[in-house]
Structure 1
Amino acid sequence: MDAHVRRTPEQVVNERHNSSSTQTTIENRFRTAEQKARVDYHIAKWLYQQGIPFNAIKARTFEVMCESIAQYGSGYIPPSYHQVRVPLLRNVVNETAEMKKKYEEYWKQYGCTLMSDGWTDKRGRHIINFLVNCLEGTYFMGSVDASGMVQSAQVLFELLDSKIDEIGEDYVIQVVTDNASNYKLAGGLKDFKNVIGKAKKITTFIYRDPRLLDAMRKRTRQKDLVRAAATRFATACLTCQSLVRHKDALKHLFISDEWKGSNLSKTEAGKKVEETVFAVPFWNTMEDFIRASKPLIVVLRIVDGDQRPAMPEVYVAMEEAKKKIREHLAHKERLWKKIISIIDKRWECQMERPLYGAALFLNPGKFFMFNENENGELIANLHISLVDVMTRLVVDPAIQDKITLQIDDYRYSKGCFGRDMAIRQRTTINPS
């Protein structure tokens, strides 16, 4: 009867994790705390003797193993060295291959995310792990010892490119990395790069000396200059905004008796910082950088936010950001054109994918902000993006035809989509 009624170890463990309360089985009621303590001791002693990391206890497979042994009962003989090394290993490899096939079928229809994560082991080797993620789960592709490689963007690109080829280029929707600087070989403006560098020198110089920092805070009403954020770019932008906001306080600091009487004012670094604080070109360029970066900060907040999905928002948010940059720097046409060209180059390389266009098309609160007469080309491209995505996600031709008819009704606000209630609820109902 046990063979037909008893749940598998996997089922027992899954139920244990899915249940909000811990249920006590009938068998456990007849076991003493001393019996449980003895088993715990033997498991712990084996971990200690073999030098197995303690976090191995957290693995779901460890719980499944313990449940499997318990179901077998007294007298279980563990597998031999040969069994673990050859036939059992072959079984697990075959099982993993079957799991990968299931994932690959999902990737072909819905796409996947390639993830890379670099870390350094105890021997000082630089290891890069590669994983593929989708709604079915995360699959570990393998790791590469990059210790002997030149840590350049080109080498890392080649590693990622080889993994994309292994998965299938058409199936990789996005690449997620650990944000190491080599991964984001981004073009930028030399003037902005210089002004950010000078801003960092000002804040580093002030925060390094407690007395100077205290004098600065007295003049800024205890406000800090450095503003931490989720990304390095956002931190630089917010810190520059803070510097501009407290420009007068900084100037007063560097003409004060406290500064003139300090040894720091006589150092080479102190003289350079003082010169920067009173340099008009520095503040002018800083303000241009803020005008250019503030709209991009809005996009970053949308992407980093956890309250709602970013995909339906990011396309139109970037269009709005470019519009704001043009407005903020209207008096410097050459500058804003250069900035927009950099943004477009990065966007086309990384984000110009049908999925983002389809998400915007199906977000009525944003989509109907565009006018057919003024934005006809953009709307047509979004329509094409939706058709591309729909063709890939929907296999049945009959359903494809039905959706195609509904797309036109939606785009031109006909039928149910043209009713007052539907139009009124474009901005009040979640697009999903």
Structure 2
Amino acid sequence: MIEAIAQFGSGYKPPSYHELRVPLLQDEKAQIDCIKKKYEDYWKSESQYADMLFQLFDSKIEEIGEDNVVQVVTNNAANYVATGRMLMQKRSKLYWTPGAAHCLDLMLEDIGKLKAYKITIERAKTMTSFIYRHYKLVDALRKKTNGIDLVRYGVKRFATSFLTLQSLYKNKDALKQLFVSDDWNSSKLSKTETGKKVLDTILAQTFWNHVLDCLRASQPILVVLRLVNGDERSALPEVYLAMEIAKKRMKVNFANKERSWKKVLAIIDDRWEVQMDRPLYAFT
């Protein structure tokens, strides 16, 4: 970049801050999207077919040597499930299994679909979206949270929602302080319909009670997910033990709310037993 500017010589006028971050950035993104589109079209038409995936995996197994391949691990998409079954039918010594992290993430997805948790997650998303659309509001909040952001991104898609709820609950006092401050009350945002709804949510104790229920349901699974995604890869027997501990913790978390933990445990057992209960893991 510096060399190009030097070659231009004197009189060069650099783009403004606005030009760099809006029109020029959008133009570059549009060009990259055009380049990427032809590859995406190819990926969509090829990767969705189990037969094609089977041939791809099978050729690699042949290349490596069937006796040297014990296990093939993929995600839980239907095309990969079908591919895994086809591989095991042809290769009697081989096991196909879905990834443990993806299995745990799908558990969190299913839990998030339960009515009580779904409503709470949607309200939390409305709150965080509103805050992060307005940079002055974000700056004011960061001052009260010592620079900590509310939105926490997990390594897996559905873990993010529950990690964000965890962060919201941890910083609920800072949120309340911000939304009852003179700065908020005197701002134009406080007069908007969305602003009023966000304020009502933040000040409602029932909302925070529901957030706590979401954390009771998700925290034990997040602990296992952290173990699976750690720098040191855990052996599956260790993960199996962690899941048993997680289920016991779930019952303790909900105490007298038997109906709640039974729903969550049913989701966990359904995903875990169908996807991760493999003879290979029992052997190890």
Same fold at TM > 0.5: yes
**Cα distance in 2 for residues equivalent to 1:220 and 1:176:** 36
Paired residue secondary structure (1:173)? strand
Match of 2:178 in 1: 253
1:192 to 98, 102, 117: 117
Alignment of 1:143-158 (within 5 A): 157=78
Whether 1:121 aligns to 2:46 is no
Residue 166 of structure 1 pairs with residue 83 of structure 2: no
Give the conservation status (yes or no) of the 8 Å contact 2:100–2:228.
Answer: no
Deviation at 1:175, TM superposition (A): 3.5
Q: CA deviation at 1:216?
A: 0.9
Given that residues 152 and 164 in structure 2 are in contact (C-alpha distance below 8 angstroms), is that contact kept between their aligned partners in structure 1?
yes
User: Which residue does the alignment assign to 1:232?
Assistant: 157
| CA radius of gyration, larger in | 1
How many residues are paired up? 222
Secondary structure of the structure 1 residue equivalent to 2:110: coil
Counterpart pick for 1:311 among 216, 232, 236: 236
Deviation at 1:289, TM superposition (A): 1.0
RMSD: 3.1
Q: Is the 8 A contact 2:88 2:96 kept in 1?
A: no
The answer to whether the 8 A contact 2:224-2:246 is kept is: yes
Percent of paired sites with the same residue: 45
- Distance in 2, matches of 1:177 and 1:336, equals 22
Distance of 1:127 and 1:177 partners within structure 2: 27
Higher RCO (Cα < 8 Å, 6 or more apart) = 2
Does structure 2 retain, via aligned residues, the 8 Å contact 1:302–1:313? no
**Distance in 2 (alpha carbons) for counterparts of 1:322 and 1:184:** 13
Unmatched tracts of structure 1, length 5 or more: 1-118, 140-152, 360-432
TM-score, L = length of structure 2: 0.69
CA contact (8 A) 2:179 2:185 kept: yes
More strand by share: 1
Unaligned segments of structure 2, at least 5 residues: 1-35, 48-52, 67-75
**Structure 2 counterparts to residues 8-407 of structure 1, below 5 A:** 121-122=38-39, 124-125=41-42, 126-129=44-47, 130=53, 131-132=56-57, 137=64, 157=78, 159-169=79-89, 171-175=94-98, 187-188=110-111, 189-359=114-284
Deviation at 1:185, TM superposition (A): 10
Distance 1:271 1:128, change over 3 A: farther
User: Deviation string for 1:279-303 (max 9, x for gaps)?
Assistant: 2221111001112211111110121
TM-score (norm 1): 0.46
Hey, what's the Cα distance between the residues in 1 that align with 2:210 and 2:134?
A: 27
Greater helix share, structure number: 2
Deviation at 1:307, TM superposition (A): 1.3
Q: Distance in 2 between matches of 1:245 and 1:351?
A: 33
